[in-house]
Amino acid sequence: MIKAFGSPSSYVQGSGVLLKSDPYLKGFGQQPLWVTDNDVYQIIGQRLETYLQGAGYRVTTVKFSGESSTTEIDRITQIGQDQHVTVVYGLGGGKTSDSAKAIADNLNLPVVIMPTLASTDAPCSRLSVIYTDDGRFDHYRFYSHNPNLVLVDSQLIAGAPVRLLTAGIADALATNVEAQAVAQAGAKTMLNEHQTLVGNAIAQTCEDTLFKYAHLAVADVKHHVVTRALDRIIEANTLMSGLGFESGGLSGAHAIHDGLTTLPQTHGLSHGEKVAYGILTQLMLEGVSQARYEKYFTLLLSLGLPTTLKALHLADATDDDLLSAAKAACAANDTMDRLPFPVTPADVAQAFRAVDAYTADYLAR
């Protein structure tokens, strides 16, 4: 049996670190292709650009369209080729991170990920989730190495909307649920090898951290303050979840997320919000005890994450709609087959309804 563990070459987290980043960045050359979006540019990008220019960097700034699609990745790759850049920076959320990794791979250059949110575990991994131009899951794209540097400014994340932090908590909460299923199945991870003890242990530590500090961190972000609790949740959402999902493996929850993206009604929801429902759906498929189900359910419910079809904007979804999403979740290029038992689209469609029914029953008690 071959086992594998992956991680970024360096991970740096701290308050205000982006505007002190030259010591971490200078080894990658001074001609970066910098991928960001208009909102992020206004929040921090303009100050960072000024800082970098003052340190001698010749920055090529490209505004990201918001979708990590092949079309957008190819567009920005061409700009990087034309400008003869030496490194790719991705400043923004999960789709910006995934696009930056793909662009760097196209250009055969190092990549630095600068997440502005703790809303997904994308920054640390050696894969990208590629979507169609209209926002449906298309495929996973894999690379030979993880990012060269992940640079996380905790003060910046403290200023982001609470909804995005809770979405990251949901994404991170899936890490151990899925990794344990992969372990039971003896299946391969996202590195296409078997789990190491370290990968599995990180997934467990990620979950433990979330249950201990999630509510404290949410309260901190509401008031835009950086505390040790928030720092721990940022690390759990970003580093622990990133290492845990990649070296521990994905299974049902993320496959269910991918299936839900095929329903246009869900496109206004974040990645983590759909994953939250995916966690509960996976637990229904596993047939876990009520006590185990409620451990995850009550945390997600208390954080205002989706536990009903209505919250997914699917209150009026037909059985055919749900079966269509379930078929996509069970597609051959996804990870449903890494559960330790066979799953059919009909099973998933029933589990979608079961989660909704349980929430209604719980709230009516």
Check if 145 is active-site: no
Q: Which of 151, 181, 365 is nearest to 255 (CA)?
A: 181
Among 153, 254, 334, 356, the one annotated catalytic = 254
Among 98, 121, 153, 171, the one annotated catalytic = 171
Q: Of all residues in the chain, what percent are helix, strand and coil, respectively (each to 5)?
A: 60, 10, 30
Q: Which of 24, 171, 18 is nearest to 87 (CA)?
A: 24
Q: Which residue type occupies 159?
A: G
Which tokens go with 79?
């700009």
Alpha-carbon gap, residue 114 to 149, rounded angstroms: 9
- Count, in order, helices (H) and strands (E) of the chain: 15, 8
Among 37, 271, 334, 356, the one annotated catalytic = 271
Helical pair 162-185 and 290-302, crossing angle rounded to 10 deg: 160
- Angle (CA) 259 249 271, round 5°: 40
Among 37, 153, 220, 257, the one annotated catalytic = 257
Alpha-carbon gap, residue 134 to 22, rounded angstroms: 37
Check if 257 is active-site: yes
Alpha-carbon gap, residue 148 to 166, rounded angstroms: 27
Residues with a catalytic annotation lie at 171, 254, 257, 271
